[in-house]
Amino acid sequence: MDDIMTLEEVAKYLKLKPQTIYTWAQKGNIPAAKLGKEWRFRRSVIDDWFNQHLDKKFHHFLDNNHESGQAD
């Protein structure tokens, strides 16, 4: 399910201050939709955005699709 999140929920999810998320949303640094006076975020888009910001040396963790956690 693609959950819609509030600014406060995104801040908690990413373990950042709400003011940081607000500033990023205002500047277009994080994918968000402004509905009236409120910012909203789609969890799947935030996850994709976060993964794109991982250092390239860690991208192989994304390519493995968590196969390393399976029993041999």
Pick the CATH number of 4-65 from 1.10.260, 1.10.1660, 1.10.1760, 3.40.50: 1.10.1660
Q: What is the CA radius of gyration of the chain?
A: 15
Of 26, 21, 70, 22, whose CA–CA distance to 50 is shortest?
21
**pTM passes above 0.75:** yes
How do residues 22-60 score in pLDDT, each as one tens digit?
Answer: 999 999 999 999 999 999 999 999 999 998 888 777 777
Tokens of 69: 């956690």
Q: Where are the domains of the chain?
A: 4-65
pLDDT for the residue numbered 71:
43
Residue 1 has pLDDT above 80, yes or no: no
- Please say whether the beta carbons of 23 and 14 come within 8 A: no
Q: Is 60 exceeded by the pLDDT of residue 8? A: yes
